[in-house]
């Protein structure tokens, strides 16, 4: 419960939600937990069973924007012969999913690059499972937008404005880097933290001046003619999203993580050549209109997964360091503390995506 409260306060209310005792405690160079994690990583890994599966129930977390992994039911088909049941839990966005994991309600879930950093700062005992490839066009579906009648004509006009997005979500890194690109800082705007699905109605009514959103919410507003984009996230060097796991669950079920990565890898390949089938699933499973789905699919790519290689770890560390340098998080963190042993990743990850 302590971890859960810390993360909820941090991700949704900002740094003021931390108690002084927590801030002082979190600034120590090496906590007992980090020592224990290091001991695990440096143990005799050859004796570990990387095919082991102890659980009979896999609790997967997904976000309200939808999840092809869930819609396609590939995990259920793979795990049913093993006697493993899959349970899915929906969360508004990444910070809420990470809070659910910290509270013991989720084993594995998909989030952007930012939520696990905030969760690690708040003390959650998590590990990265697998990343996501990005392309030159990745980011077209993540936007900073204003109502069509807004007096703001370009992104540079954002200075001093109220900007609505979920703190601790991928939008947090997006806005930070976007502001940097025009010589501004996060202090040059007024952040209003609100989940995208909650802010959508107010934005459509013209009651929110600047909104950070993504598909399908972007596509819905676009269909209604109620959105004008002033910036997308193309080229802002995000490492991409991740699947994250509770550490204890990951250590006890490495064979299950291997299956998850394999099925994700295969699903990406299938989706890339079966885009019409993906669209049909979005219509039936997410209850979206066909024209909304068409807009979403026009911006969506299936670039594939990316293993936790040294290069990807370095990219994620750069993101964490930037949050600390800009004063967004209260302490510097080491992404290595949220990793499994390198030979475990090598054992559960297809070599072709370890780049």
Give residue-wise pLDDT tens across range 148-172. 999 999 999 999 999 999 999 999 9
Strand arrangement of the beta sheet that strand 126-132 belongs to: 85-91, 57-63, 108-111, 242-246, 126-132, 305-306
Axis-axis angle for helices 275-286, 290-299 (nearest 10)? 130
Give the pLDDT band (50/70/90) at residue 322: very high
Give the pLDDT band (50/70/90) at residue 11: low
Give the pLDDT band (50/70/90) at residue 135: confident
pLDDT at position 137 is: 83
132 strand-pairing partners: 305
Helix ranges, 14-162 (H): 20-26, 32-41, 68-72, 74-79, 94-102, 115-121
Is the pLDDT reported for residue 2 higher than 70?
Answer: no
Element (H, E) at 58: strand 57-63
Q: How far apart are CA 159 and CA 263, in angstroms?
A: 44
42 vs 144, 257, 328, 344, CA distance in Å? 44, 20, 32, 12
76 vs 88, 211, 255, CA distance in Å? 11, 37, 15
Positive or negative CA dihedral for 180, 186, 190, 193? positive
Give SS3 for 1.
coil
Burial class of residue 15, CB neighbours in 10 A (0-12, 13-18, 19+): middle
Is the pLDDT reported for residue 39 higher than 70?
Answer: no
Per the CB < 8 A criterion, the answer to whether 304 and 133 are in contact is yes
Helix ranges, the chain (H): 2-13, 20-26, 32-41, 68-72, 74-79, 94-102, 115-121, 170-180, 196-204, 217-223, 247-252, 254-273, 275-286, 290-299, 310-325, 342-348
Cα–Cα nearest to 316, from 64, 132, 165, 181: 132
339 vs 40, 194, 246, 307, CA distance in Å? 11, 30, 11, 12
**Most distant CA pair in the chain: distance in Å?**
64
Per the CB < 8 A criterion, the answer to whether 185 and 326 are in contact is yes
- Residues of the chain with pLDDT > 90, as a percent, come to 81
Q: What are the backbone dihedrals phi and psi of residue 217, each rounded to the nearest 5 degrees, phi first? A: -60, -40
Is the pLDDT reported for residue 28 higher than 70?
Answer: no
pLDDT at position 29 is: 37
The mean pLDDT value for 327-352 works out to 96
Annotate 215-233 with b (16+ C-beta within 10 A) or e (fewer): bbbbbbbbeeebbbebbbb
């Amino acid at each position: 419960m302590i971890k859960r409260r810390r993360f909820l306060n941090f991700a949704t209310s900002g740094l003021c939600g931390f108690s002084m005792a927590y801030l002082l405690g979190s600034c120590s160079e090496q906590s007992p937990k980090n020592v224990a994690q290091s001991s695990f990583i440096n143990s005799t890994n050859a004796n570990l069973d990387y095919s082991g599966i102890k659980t009979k129930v896999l609790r997967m977390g997904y976000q309200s924007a939808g999840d092809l992994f869930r819609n396609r039911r590939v995990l259920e088909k793979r795990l049913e012969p093993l006697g493993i049941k899959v349970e899915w839990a929906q969360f508004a966005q990444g910070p809420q999913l990470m809070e659910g994991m910290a509270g013991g309600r989720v084993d594995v879930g998909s989030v952007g690059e930012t939520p696990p950093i905030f969760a690690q700062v708040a003390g959650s005992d998590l590990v990265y499972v697998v990343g996501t490839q990005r392309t030159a066009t990745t980011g077209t579906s993540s936007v900073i937008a204003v109502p069509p009648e807004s007096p703001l004509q370009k992104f540079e006009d954002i200075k001093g404005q109220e900007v609505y997005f979920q703190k601790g979500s991928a939008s947090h890194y997006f806005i930070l880097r976007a502001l940097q690109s025009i010589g501004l800082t996060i202090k040059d705007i007024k952040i209003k933290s609100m989940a995208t699905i909650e802010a959508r109605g107010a934005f459509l009514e013209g009651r929110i001046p600047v909104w950070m959103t993504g598909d399908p919410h972007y596509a819905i507003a676009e269909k209604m003619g109620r959105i004008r984009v002033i910036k997308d996230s193309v080229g802002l060097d995000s490492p991409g999203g991740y699947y994250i796991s509770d550490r204890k669950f990951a250590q006890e079920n490495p064979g299950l993580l291997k299956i998850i990565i394999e099925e994700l890898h295969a699903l990406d390949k299938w989706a890339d050549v079966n885009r019409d089938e993906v669209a049909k699933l979005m219509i039936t499973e997410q209850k979206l209109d066909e024209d909304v789905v068409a807009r979403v699919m026009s911006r969506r790519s299936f670039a594939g997964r990316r293993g936790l290689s040294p290069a990807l770890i370095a990219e994620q560390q750069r993101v964490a360091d930037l949050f600390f340098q800009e004063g967004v998080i209260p302490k510097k963190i080491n992404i290595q503390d949220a990793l499994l042993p390198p030979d475990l990743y090598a054992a559960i990850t297809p070599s072709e995506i370890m780049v």
